[in-house]
Amino acid sequence: MAVSRGHFSSRLGFILAAAGSAVGLGNIWKFPFEVGSGGGAAFVVMYLGFCFLLCFPVMTAEIAIGRRTQRNAVGAFKALNKPRWAFIGFLGLASGLLILSFYNVVAGWAFGYVIEMIMGNFDIGSQFGDFIKDWMKIGLYGIVFMGATAFIVSQGVQKGIEKAAKFLMPTLIILMILLSTYAMTLEGAMRGIEFYLIPDFSKINGQVVYSALGQAFFSLSLGMGALITYGSYLSKEQNIVQSAALITLMDVGIAFLAGLMLFPLVFSQGLEPTGGPGLIFVTLPGVFRDLGPNIGIIIGTLFFTLLSFAALTSTVSLLEVPVAYVVDEHKVPRKRAVWLTATLIFLIGIPSLLSNGASSILTNFIDVIGLAREGATDNSFMTLVAWIANDTFLPLGGMLISIFAAYIWKKENLSAELSIGNEGYAGSFLERFINFSISYLAPVVLSVIFLLTLLSKFFGIDLI
């Protein structure tokens, strides 16, 4: 393949881009809430276990497949002479299109909140329902966000993805350290820290284990070939195992920092952490107001800027997966591929955009098609897409990628690829551990998760 498909210029560039993919809305609003409802530190321990025992090995396999073949998520399987396995890549493309279609809507909320905060509109928390219902406004924010994503991706690997990550990731980390330090100086902050970090093991049940694994997998951007794609822009001398360890550490570290920032802020105002998107979009604006009008505007604006930045490096990676496919396999020039794909995904996202109050059919879609659970408050089309893509396709994709790496491509070849730039890997404990995880642990655990999702979400059978 003589096509100049782009390359990361340095190891740091690759690590920041991949960590940028991993660090996103999943870390900053989902992780802290899941910790809260899942028994605090007990959830954190489980989440860490999954990240390192299961996700980290899967990550090394994805990157190795990408670097070995220098191709996109579909082409990689063909390049290994296993064209029949290219369906894993197509499953990944489908996941990417679906995830980005609604992820961009939520990213639009975050971006919209930056503007509300600059204007000092702290009442936006209580107006959240009306805010997300306003499809014209959110649609516009969504266009801006998708436009920014597409612009970065259109600039290519080095000048777009890598350059954006090198600016956005350090800024994000600095902002988070500033905000969490500030949050911990507030009165009552310690109650937040206790809630966050003192484990209550009695809260652990099958459901919590299930969500800890789902969270770890989504948060590390696994199961759809995003890291096959990024790995394909990596040069041979880089140490994949070490890079994957650093990416995992950064993702986990930033999720942890997000909790250190949020819980003190929320508890310092005598509030209780509430579920899901509410914690950030409903509760926080009031917290910012109570900090005082001027400081509130500053902290609030910084917070939602940070959230938008985190989302942006993730949307970039989600868009790059289908774009790399179109560029490699159909020889479409990158810029054209980017704008076409981004437009398509935006269109796919329109029902999600309308499913937060604007259209009652789409807002109650899960109920309309007869899959609603008793007492469920969120039955939107957008949630259905998340069930399909995040909860079903990703574990399925991850399981298939592991099986492929261990048994079809074969672990000897995986080991050989992971040994490049990594002296002493062959024969090491780490090699045995990664091979064990890819061959047994990941396929078994991920297929259990896949089946549990299928049964509970789509057939109404709750085993846990």
> Is 267 or 393 the residue whose CB approaches ligand TRP more closely?
393
Residue 146 makes contact with ligand TRP by CB under 6 A? no
Selected binder of ligand TRP within 176, 179, 209, 226 (CB under 6 A): 226
- Non-local CB neighbours of 39 within 8 Å, separated by 6+ positions: 199, 200, 201, 202, 203, 204, 208
> Is 20 or 39 the residue whose CB approaches ligand TRP more closely?
20
Min separation Cβ 24 and ligand TRP, Å: 2
Residue 229 makes contact with ligand TRP by CB under 6 A? no
3 state DSSP class of 373 = coil
| Binding flags for ligand TRP, 41-80, as an x/- string (CB under 6 A) | ----------------------------------------
Contact 117, 301 (CB under 8 A): yes
Min separation Cβ 65 and ligand TRP, Å: 15
Residue 395 makes contact with ligand TRP by CB under 6 A? no
Residue 22 makes contact with ligand TRP by CB under 6 A? yes
3 state DSSP class of 97 = helix
The owner of tokens 């040069």 is 235
Residue 314 makes contact with ligand TRP by CB under 6 A? yes
Residue 27 makes contact with ligand TRP by CB under 6 A? yes
> Is 318 or 337 the residue whose CB approaches ligand TRP more closely?
318
Neighbouring CB atoms inside 10 A of 426's CB total 11
Residue 101 makes contact with ligand TRP by CB under 6 A? no
Q: How many CA atoms lie within 13 A of 204 on its CB side?
A: 13
Contact 76, 228 (CB under 8 A): yes
Question: Quick one: which segment of 166-174, 197-205, 313-321, 339-347 binds ligand TRP (CB under 6 A)?
Answer: 313-321
Contact 151, 311 (CB under 8 A): no
Q: Is the dihedral of CA 42, 48, 53, 54 positive or negative?
A: positive
Min separation Cβ 318 and ligand TRP, Å: 5
Residue 218 makes contact with ligand TRP by CB under 6 A? yes
Q: Which amino acid is at 104?
A: N
Residue 26 makes contact with ligand TRP by CB under 6 A? yes
Q: Where are the alpha helices (DSSP H) in 331-454?
A: 334-348, 350-354, 360-363, 365-368, 381-386, 394-403, 411-419, 429-436, 442-453
Q: Which residues contact ligand TRP (rule: CB under 6 A)?
A: 21-22, 24-27, 99, 218-219, 221, 224, 226, 314, 317-318, 394
